[in-house]
Structure 1
Amino acid sequence: MVLALLGTVVLGALAAGTVSGLSLARYEAPGSESDRAQAELAARFGTGSADLVLLVTARSGTVDTPAVAASGRALTARLAAFEGVAETASYWSRGNPVTLRSADGRHALVVARIPGDANRVRSEILPRIIPEVLRGDAATTVRAGGGEEVFRQTVPLARQDFVRAELVVVPLVLVLLWVHLRRVLAAVLPVVLGALAMVAGLALLRIPLLYADLSTFALNLTLAMGLGLGVDYSLFMIARFREEVGLGRDRHEAVARAVERAGRTVIFSGVTVAASLSVLLFMPFDFFRSFAYAGVAVVVGGVVGAVVVLPAILAAVGDRVLSRHPGKAAGGTFWRGLATRVMRRPVVYGGVATAVLLLLGSPFLGLRLGVADDRILPASAPARQTSDVIRAGFPAEETDALQIVSTGAAGAPPEAVPGYAAALSRLPGVAQVDSAAGSYAAGVRISAGDPSRFAGAGGTWLSVVPSAELMEEDPVQLVSDVRALRAPFEVLVGGYPAELADYRQAVIERLPLLLGLILAVTFAVLFVMTGSVLIPLKATVLNLLSLSVMFGALVWVYQDGNLSGLLGFTPTGTLDPSIPILMFCVAYGLSMDYEVFLLSRIKEEYDLTGDTSGAVVAGLQGGAPLITAAGGILAVSFAAYVSAQVVFVQMLGVGMAVAILVDATVIRAILVPAAMRLAGEANWWAPGPLRRLHARIGLSG
């Protein structure tokens, strides 16, 4: 215990520096066409997508009023003078294009490109610029927006979400633990072990921070999972300790037996959860890899706390965690009765439960993938308010233009540019195309534009400005249309919509690998534990069934907008694939967590009796009450995030709470016994070679 205390102090000192090192990664796919286009634009033309957008509003008159125009030009020049700003442009500096002016004439835009990594832009440059440019003057008011400003404002809000949630969840979990365990020390220990898992997880994140950018959402995952796993693992260890004492063993023997049985199960569970999250390392994005590092780190902290620190405490003061009613049967008669009824009519109970879960998961069939924008922020956030005005008042999205840059040794023949620009302007959803040959709309040249803007070190580039309506509906389709249009010279297509399209495509392309790895790893863990081929397959199917309910809830709530008023978010009609993929890995790991705990009890009984039906009933009676209590407490810890202001954090909380509750109740209490009853002795079957393999590497007894 002394060593654990000293270790916690050291880990706490290391963890203290982790939070400031976390950031929000950009939506970009390294090596993609959009990534290469941005590199070409920056190197050859000194330009690129806007990182900062200033919305200038006339206090009176319009943006063409002389005083307002003078103020706008002065603001553009002032912004260009800031260190770190590589390029600026505005409605007034580009010859008053309609794409930078609102329909009512009251607003205009100033845009800036700020090169550099996300941390430098958001932590060093923008904090110096924003307060200075937002002052406005007698003629104008100024608001800030743009992708970098949106994510800069997201980070502190996400941290506030955590603090607010934890202020609620920690005392609530303590109360629930006391209700379940009926001893103060027994209720406090799981929370203490959860805190240790959090601290250890954050401290271990210092290692990947040396060579990778970690997302700020990794903090939320570490803290939510740390508390949850600390509670889960501690509950199982304490319950087994109590059980062994109830069988007549002295304190130290009971601790040893608890570590031998429940501790082994905790290690299996930890390996399963860590393996489920570690597959995210195969995603080519720091955002996903952050969660892999965080998941593995917090599991290590949780497992070490449960199998090293907690046994030491139980050996010293274990009498103070024992039940005040040691003669009372664990779980009473309810779970035994339920298991008996389910196994007497497995088809009826299993069929009804499956039908209900499929119905709840059916909204997932209407999934529409998109990419998150400023609406992950609450309506009160300044960057969100800026974007709302632009979305509602501007006919075109100049700041979200596609950029088409010529490549190849032949360059771009000047005579080929007019026809190509005209053809691009006729594509559905294109408001205007700007090029060295002029500006085009609906196939017609509408102005001479600024040819010097598109001149550089050989070749040329074109700006395809989408309409505001298209950006609301399907910007990815425009990217496909532009890339499908035959170009008269070699080109690369970049810009914000192309970055979104390439990011989404890269994520989707990795999904089969991700699914294959997570299924293979968890299959291997359960095989080593049980020696069965059927049980891991059954566990996989049931876990996917519970996850379908989670995804159905995400689509029904966050895509379709049901309960948006109650939960306080703005639906966009699509789901960003990032958070659902993360939630799949977390929820799948935690589902296997409960599967491991229940199977360990069933396998233990089966090894003693050889009776599958009796083992399932006894395992459910001994394990289901604990799994339900642990699942309920873990669900509460995630559900506390329902009050989050950042939609990503709220989605994580709501989705995980739904998945855990379904898994810890319907799946474990009804579908597991029903499936095992139908399979009978085949539950434990494996082909000869695998049986021999399990005899060498598996665990038994």
Structure 2
Amino acid sequence: MTTPPDSATAPAPAPPAAAARTGRARPWLVPVLAAVLTVLLGAAGLGTSGRLANGGYTASGTESDRADALLAERFGTGRTDLTLLVRADDGDVDDDAAAAQGLALAQRLARSPGVTRVRAYWTGDTGRNPVLRSADGSAALVTADLAGADRDAARTAARLVPRFTGRHGVLRVSATGPAWVSVEAGRAGERDLVRAELVAAPLTLLVLVVALRSLVAALVPLVIGAVAVVGTFALLRLLTFFMPVSVFAVNLTSALGFGLAVDYGLFLVTRYREELRAGLPVDAAVRRTARIAGRTVAVSAGAVGLSMSALLVLPLPFLRSMACAGTGVAVFAAVTATVLVPPVLVLLGTRVDRWDPLAVLRPSRAPRPDSPAWRAVARAVTARPLWYGTGCAALLLVLAAPFGHVRFGLPDERILPAQAESYRTSQDVRENFAVRTERNLTVVLPAADPVRDRAALQAYERAVTDLPGVARTSRLPGTRGAALVVTGPDARPQSAASRALLRRLRALPGPGGGQLVTGRAAVLADTCAAVRARLPLVVAVAGVALWGVLFLLTGSVLLPVKALGIGALSLGASFGAMVFIFQDGHLRGVLGQFAVTGMLDMTMPLLMSAIAVGLAVDYEIFLLSRVKEHYVRTRDNRASVVEGVARTGRLVSTSALAVAVVTGALATSGVTVLKLLGTGLATAVLVDAVLVRGVLVPAYLALLGRVNWWAPGPLRRVHGRVVRRLGLDEGHSAGLR
């Protein structure tokens, strides 16, 4: 299998001359320095998981965010960080012994460092609070607000929960709440990371051995991945000093790092072996591989980085931390591949083909540089491009159809495995307590005076009570401003009924000059609105950047537009699979049991789009490079498409399979967020490699013919100047072998 030539590789800086000379003169020096640096980075990255936090799924600066800030400042309320479920052995929390021990438990919790406020059934200012008592009287709640941001609250919860749960006299205590969910999610993510790597590493190695016919060659991509992941862990630790970083960034880093390493390692090793088979000596083969394949690796990493960095535009801390993690691992993988691999290849020399453990199972003939199977597919597709292209597009639209009824929501404790304490305790609270905080909306009236505006507040409360969908209202005590808790319909926050009530509350004028509404439904609506407002900018940033990369690669105006459009169609198919599986609850027996909430975490399609588009551009570069090389030489469009698919089909499908194994290993996670991300990415890369690169793109290229390569005169001249300045003009004027 050959790789794209210099002629059609997108421009990127060649490796520094000094580094190249060092690699040839003392090839052992770079691997030794890399090993030392990796150890140092590994030491720097120790303890990263302890500095990570869950959360960051909601937008800041919104109406609900301002309302939450006022509630915390003026009323001492807000989001409860920690909830303790207290059960009495004799089934009565009003029993003297249970009440005394429950009150003592709440008082000890209130005195603990990091706790700012505690509310308990037995400590109400006007007597026992019936809202915090279960319907049958056997259990009660103790809630706590914790100091600091999500990460600080999680640390406090990790310290307190072991002390306050379990048996306490006649009481049995369990915990839930966002802070404890964060702790359990982080621990589950760490366990899942180890399990995923134990699953993915041997399977990936097997795929590479099958593709490269050498254990030595197959180990090169794994080395790239290990160095890239270790370096990114150190980067994540550094980032925690400046911004909140998600606990799941570690899992993303591991999966994406090894996925990109497979991509880049396959590309470099395949090119190097091609040069050796062409008769070049080792040093010349390494130089040519570093110059040609190294540029494409750099451009590919740039495409992944640009795609991921577009997420920085969105006002969600979770996505911003994931963007930094993804961009960082792409850079580390590219630097490792272009700096470390050439001297390693010099050291290996012709031994790169050694140790094929599957040699006895293979035919004795030498491997072909192309794929007969993919050549046959390409010939069939280009013979009837309209039929195949239309059929493939229709299939992708059918696969995308479930996304038409998507319902977005915010993650909660149900992302955890069912056996997690947070999950079980929360479900117990949902089933046995009248309080359903997800149904509540809180109206904050910051300018209203409880004494001066008493009559107006009473009239406003009556007007709110009369609104359709309002079950009951209650006023929060306070001397600065006023706040009204509104219990809405017994429906999910993302339901039409909840959204309708939110609109009515925000449209109803409040006394004192305005109101702010918060609550789970309000936070969800505000976050969706904030994302929608920024989404055009995200699409523009990613689209223009990727269009520019592909334009410099091809010199065509239409091919980059085609790539982006077909990429969107391909993503739609994987989005449909996500809705079908995780929102609608299908295939739970295959993927393992997970909570079906009837909604899809709104951050997942955005994150998956950024990663999948970056990987798809890799495959687009591989295919279009080879197609353009042949077209420059022959001016035969159909033959060029067939040749491009035949030459890159095996490389792309092997890379996609390995990436699917690495990312799909996340599907073994018990955390639904990781399971969803792994399943979606594995689906996306396989659909892209098989249906899109194998059928849809060849059909499109065959249909448009010479129009594929059209560009207006001014852009052609700009393209020519850039290509010449970057030293790629030789390849664009004549095809290489």
Aligned-partner Cα distance in 1 for 2:474–2:173:
27
Is 1:142 the counterpart of 2:142? The answer is: no
Correspondence 1:100 to 2:100: no
Given candidates 394, 399, 407, the residue that maps to 2:446 is 407
TM superposition shift of 1:395: 3.0
Superposition pairs of residues 89-488 of structure 1, within 5 angstroms: 89-94=119-124, 95-123=127-155, 125-322=156-353, 327-398=366-437, 401-408=440-447, 413-435=453-475, 454-456=477-479, 458-466=480-488, 469-470=491-492, 473=495, 475-488=498-511
In structure 1, what is the equivalent of residue 611 of structure 2?
A: 586
| Partners of 1:591 and 1:217 in 2: CA distance | 23
- Following superposition, the deviation at residue 482 of structure 1 comes to 2.5
Amino acid aligned to 2:524? L
Q: Which residue of 1 is the match for residue 111 of structure 2? A: 81
Q: Secondary structure at the match of 1:403?
A: strand
The range that moved more, 319-328 or 599-608, is 319-328
Displacement of 1:491 in angstroms is 2.2
Q: What stretches of structure 2 of length at least 5 have no aligned partner?
A: 1-30, 357-363, 732-737
1:19–1:83 CA distance, 2 compared to 1 (3 A): closer
Q: Which amino acid aligns with 1:523?
A: W
Residues 104-124 of structure 1: CA deviation (Å, up to 9, x unaligned): 33222222222311111111x
Q: 1:196 to 1:530 in 2, by over 3 A?
A: same
Identity percentage of aligned residues: 42
Residues 562 and 267 of structure 1: CA distance in aligned 2, closer, same or farther (over 3 Å): same
For residue 520 of structure 1, the aligned residue among 526, 538, 544 is: 544
Structure 1 residues 68 and 349, CA gap change in structure 2 (3 angstroms): same
CA contact (8 A) 2:134 2:432 kept: yes
Residue 204 of structure 1 aligns with an amino acid whose one-letter code is L
Instruction: Give the distance between the partners of 1:394 and 1:47, measured in 2 at CA.
Output: 20
* Structure 1 counterpart SS, 2:182: helix
Cα distance in 2, alignment partners of residues 111 and 209 from structure 1: 28
Query: Cα 1:77–1:431, aligned 2, differ >3 Å: closer, same or farther?
Result: farther
Question: Could you tell me how far 1:624 is from its partner in structure 2?
Answer: 0.9
Mark the runs of 5 or more structure 1 residues left unpaired by the alignment: 436-452
SS in 1 for 2:332: helix
- Offset of residue 291 of structure 1: 1.4
Partner of 1:568: helix, strand, or coil?
coil
Q: What amino acid sits opposite 1:432 in the alignment?
A: R
Q: What residue identity is the alignment partner of 2:267?
A: F
Task: Give the corresponding residue for 1:596.
Answer: 621
Which stretch of structure 1 is more off in the superposition, 419-428 or 600-609? Answer: 419-428
Q: Is the 8 A contact 2:439 2:491 kept in 1?
A: no
Whether the aligned pair in 1 keeps the contact of 2:407 and 2:600 (CA below 8 Å) is yes
Match of 1:530 among 554, 561, 573: 554
Give, in whole Å, the separation in 2 of the partners of 1:27 and 1:265: 35
CA distance, structure 1, for counterparts of residue 684 and residue 559 of structure 2: 21
Deviation of 1:409 (Å):
7.6
**How far is the alpha carbon of 1:581 from its aligned partner?**
0.7
Deviation at 1:278, TM superposition (A): 0.6
CA drift at 1:669: 0.9
Bigger mean CA deviation after superposition, 459-468 or 611-620: 459-468
- Please list the CA deviations of residues 127-185 of structure 1 after superposition, one character each: whole Å capped at 9, or x if unmatched: 23212321443433222112222122111111111111001111111111111111110
Shift in Å at residue 512 of structure 1? 1.8
Contact 1:454–1:462 (CA under 8 A) maintained in structure 2: no
User: SS at 2:595's partner residue?
Assistant: coil
Q: Does the CA contact (< 8 Å) of 1:397 and 1:466 recur in 2?
A: no
The 2-side partners of 1:287 and 1:322 are apart by: 43
Output the CA distance in 1 between the equivalents of 2:272 and 2:437.
Answer: 65
Distance 1:395 1:470, change over 3 A: farther
SS for the counterpart of 2:442 is strand
Displacement of 1:468 in angstroms is: 5.3
Note the C-alpha offset of 1:518: 1.3
CA offset digits 1:373-398 (Å, max 9, x no partner): 11101110001111101112223325
How many Å separate the matches in 1 of 2:714 and 2:245?
A: 43
Letter in 2 for 1:209: T
Q: Distance in 1 between matches of 2:466 and 2:428?
A: 27
C-alpha separation in 2, matches of 1:534 and 1:471: 43
- Inter-partner Cα distance in structure 1 for 2:48 and 2:120: 39
| Residue 510 (str. 1) matches residue 550 (str. 2) | no
Distance in 2 separating the partners of 1:235 and 1:257? 16
Q: Indicate if the aligned counterparts of 1:15 and 1:203 stay in contact, CA closer than 8 A.
A: yes
CA RMSD between the two structures: 2.2
Match of 1:205, SS state, is helix
Question: 1:639 maps to which residue?
Answer: 664
Aligned pairs for 1:627-666 within 5 A? 627-666=652-691
C-alpha deviations, 1:313-366, integer Å up to 9, x for none? 112213122388784322342222221111111111112211111111111111
Q: Shift of residue 681 of structure 1?
A: 0.5
CA distance, structure 1, for counterparts of residue 227 and residue 167 of structure 2: 49
Q: CA deviation at 1:41?
A: 2.5
Matched-pair contact (CA < 8 Å) for 1:50–1:399? no
How far is 1:284 from its partner?
Answer: 1.8
Q: Which structure carries more relative contact order (alpha carbon 8 Å, separation 6+)?
A: 2
Which residue of structure 2 aligns with residue 443 of structure 1?
none
Whichever residue aligns with residue 112 of structure 1, its letter is A
Match of 2:701 in 1: 676
Using the alignment, how far apart are the partners of 2:494 and 2:709 within structure 1? 53
| SS of aligned partner of 2:408 | coil
Q: Matched residues in 2 for 1:27 and 1:75: separation?
A: 32
1:311 and 1:588, CA in 2 relative to 1: closer, same or farther beyond 3 A? same
Does residue 656 of structure 2 align to residue 616 of structure 1? no
Deviates more, 1:16-25 or 1:271-280: 16-25
Length, aligned pairs only: 682
Q: C-alpha separation between the residues in 1 aligned to 2:169 and 2:324? A: 51
Amino acid at match of 1:407: P
- Provide the C-alpha distance between the structure 2 equivalents of 1:39 and 1:521, rounded to a whole number of angstroms: 38
In structure 2, what residue type is equivalent to 1:542? I
Contact 1:401-1:463 at 8 Å conserved across structures: yes
CA distance in 2: counterparts of 1:473 and 1:396, whole angstroms = 19
Separation (CA, whole Å) in 2 of partners of 1:177 and 1:483 = 58
Q: Match of 1:557?
A: 581
- How far apart in 2 are the matches of 1:157 and 1:275? 30
Tell me the residue number matched to 1:44.
74
Measured after TM superposition, the shift of residue 632 of structure 1 is 0.4
1:256-279 deviation line (CA, Å, top 9, x unaligned): 222232222212211111100011
User: 1:650-680: CA deviations, max 9, x gaps?
Assistant: 0011000000001111111111111100010
Secondary structure of 2:115 counterpart: coil
How far apart, CA to CA, are the structure 2 residues paired with 1:21 and 1:689? 52
Q: Whole-Å Cα distance in 1 between the matches of residues 368 and 336 of structure 2?
A: 28
1:459-487: CA deviations, max 9, x gaps?
22222344654558565554333223332
Q: Structure 1 pair 563/691, CA: closer, same or farther in 2 (3 Å)?
A: same
The AA in structure 2 aligned to 1:509 is A
For the residues of structure 2 that align with 1:181 and 1:372, how far apart are their CA atoms? 42
Deviation at 1:64, TM superposition (A): 3.4
Q: Give CA deviations for 1:410-437 in whole Å, capped at 9, x if unaligned.
A: 67611222232233334455443221xx
